[in-house]
């Protein structure tokens, strides 16, 4: 199978050249585009999630040889969660090579967090099947590298940490307000504002209120801690 120019460019962005290009095509094929002759990426996603977990488990043990399980677990969760996979996917522009059905394409599927996260996991599995564990490990560590080094901050529960910060300064807990909801019912985008009693605030968008609240809290926490 000969890959298109954009798929060849994508291989450069992830730092891996496939011996079997069909694996990469399957990894970026959403169920809405699948057919009897074109399998989708759901099975690869299942495998990729496990490969990512093993790579991250080993990386965390090597990064901090003295950390107890109680510290490792939240760090691990921060690195393998769907939101992080989607962030990585955006950095290498997975959206530009996703193969989507018309309905998903029309509803902004190339930007959806769930689709991007699933595709990133499927790509990890495709590399694993094509080149073995070491190839998948190398790619993951290259793409996740900076996050592994800074995972302590990402592993914190931002809403809890911000509330503790506010209470330590005699303020009421932060207030979370839904500013807007856009998009279709099956794929809404929520804009949430997190505001402190002092008037400091930050907004964030996500496909669920919970994630948007966490992202707004994380942004505001960084701002107040850096002042």
Cα separation of 170 and 159, whole Å? 17
> Please, what's the b/e burial string for 199-209 (b: 16 or more CB within 10 A of its CB; e: otherwise)?
eebbbbebbee
Residue listed under structure tokens 């689709």: 115
Residues 40, 45, 49, 215: which is the catalytic one? 49
Q: Which long-range contacts (CB under 8 A, 24 or more apart) does 33-42 make?
A: 33/99, 33/100, 33/101, 33/104, 38/99, 41/118, 41/119, 41/122, 42/118, 42/122
Cα separation of 199 and 223, whole Å? 13
Residues 40, 104, 118, 121: which is the catalytic one? 121
Cα separation of 223 and 59, whole Å? 29
CA nearest neighbour of 3 among 27, 39, 31: 27
Would you say the C-alpha torsion 58, 62, 64, 68 has a positive or negative sign?
positive
Q: Which tokens sit at 123?
A: 């790509």
Is 49 catalytic? The answer is: yes
Helix (H, G, I), strand (E, B) or coil at 41: coil
Angle subtended by helix axes 133-149 and 69-80, to nearest 10: 110
User: What positions carry a catalytic annotation?
Assistant: 49, 121
């Amino acid at each position: 199978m000969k890959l298109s120019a954009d798929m060849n460019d994508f291989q450069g962005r992830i730092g891996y050249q496939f011996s079997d290009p069909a694996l990469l095509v399957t990894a970026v094929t959403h169920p809405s585009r699948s057919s009897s002759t074109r399998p989708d990426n759901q099975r690869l996603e299942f495998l990729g999630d496990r490969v990512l977990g093993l790579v991250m488990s080993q990386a965390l043990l090597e990064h901090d040889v003295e950390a107890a399980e109680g510290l490792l677990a939240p760090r691990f969760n921060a690195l393998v969660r769907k939101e992080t996979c989607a962030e990585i996917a955006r950095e290498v522009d997975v959206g530009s090579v996703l193969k989507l059905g018309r309905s998903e394409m029309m509803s902004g599927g190339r930007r959806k967090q769930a689709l991007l996260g699933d595709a990133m996991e499927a790509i990890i599995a495709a590399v694993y099947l094509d080149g073995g564990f070491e190839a998948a490990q190398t790619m993951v560590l290259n793409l996740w590298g900076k996050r592994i080094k800074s995972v302590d901050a990402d592993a914190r529960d931002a809403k809890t940490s911000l509330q503790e910060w506010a209470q330590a300064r005699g303020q009421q807990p932060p207030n979370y307000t839904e500013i807007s909801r856009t998009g279709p019912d099956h794929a809404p985008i929520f804009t949430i504002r997190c505001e402190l009693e002092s008037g400091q605030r930050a907004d964030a968008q996500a496909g669920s209120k919970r994630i948007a609240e966490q992202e707004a809290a994380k942004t505001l926490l960084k701002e107040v801690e850096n002042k």
